[in-house]
Amino acid sequence: MERTLVILKPGTVQRGLIGEVISRFEKRGLKLVAMKMKQLTPEILDVHYAHLADKPFFNWLKDAMMAAPVILCCWEGFEAVKVVREMAGATNGRKAVPGTIRGDYSVSSQENIVHTSDSVENAKIELERFFSPEDYCEYPSPLDKYLYAPDEH
């Protein structure tokens, strides 16, 4: 099974949307295998958003991501990266389709509820950045046979 990172951003925490967002992933059939609350630092954000360092909004992005704690989640499932990205919707909440997380809870390009890994390769890198091996909980789900075809395990 594939794993991916989801960060519930400070605005999600402040707006009391943690449970709603998490329940959407659960209802879709993804399995939560690691989760923690953390106050992000400039140092970790410099690494995490290094690909945006030359953008004019970089410092504002860092400030926004440190405005309150975040919830870091690792979700597991068949093609989890793709499923989570589609559930999140377009980065700009104004352009996100209703029914997606951003389409239902965001009207901003930056205050857009969640960060999601954009590829399997980046998911691995990002998960290693925020979680250590002991943070993961392996457990069987009796629902797997109702969620996946035999060739999707």
Residue 67: both structure tokens together = 């405005």
Structure tokens at 16: 């009391």
How many of the other CB atoms lie within 10 Å of CB of 125? Answer: 13
Q: What are phi and psi of 3, to 5 degrees?
A: -120, 150
Q: What is the largest CA-CA distance in the chain?
A: 48
Backbone angles phi, psi at 108, to 5 degrees: -130, 150
Q: Pick from 83, 84, 102: which is nearest to 93 by CA?
A: 102
Give me the DSSP letters along 106-120. ---SSS-SEEE-SSH
Catalytic residues: 115
